[in-house]
Amino acid sequence: MNAAATEQAAPAPEPKANVANKRKLVGRVVSNKMQKTVVVKVERRVTHPTFGKIITRSSKYHAHVATGAFQEGDLVEIVECRPISKTKSWAVTRLVEKSKAV
């Protein structure tokens, strides 16, 4: 066997897990009463299968925050992470828009 044949037989190195492949969502903070956790409401617009009308669907996610920097009404971006607790497997990455004080 020559050197070229042994190089072809060697398996290709496995690609490392990319952080950019994690899901990202944008939503509003609806509760910040817990320590190091905020509840983020993410809304999406979908077409009704029968009537064709655009309707709004929403989901709430518990997201980890190291500091208590986010208030209710803030628009934030959350990213999927490892499970931190029973209900918390998202983390806040950045503040998109500060809430308007009324």
33 pLDDT above the threshold of 90: yes
pLDDT score of 75: 96
Which is more confident, 7 or 62?
62
Query: b or e along 55-81 (b: 16 or more beta carbons within 10 Å of the residue's beta carbon)?
Result: eeeeeebbbbbeeeebeeebebbbbee
Residue 47 CA to chain centroid, in angstroms?
A: 23
How far is residue 98's CA from residue 100's CA, in Å, rounded to a whole number?
7
Mean of per-residue pLDDT scores for the chain: 86
CATH class for the domain made up of 21-97: mainly beta
Both tokens of residue 55? Answer: 């309707």
12 pLDDT above the threshold of 50: no
pTM to 2 decimal places: 0.76
Summarize pLDDT for 15-29 with one digit per residue, the tens.
444 556 889 999 999
Both tokens of residue 93? Answer: 């990455």
Map out the domains of the chain as residue ranges. Answer: 21-97
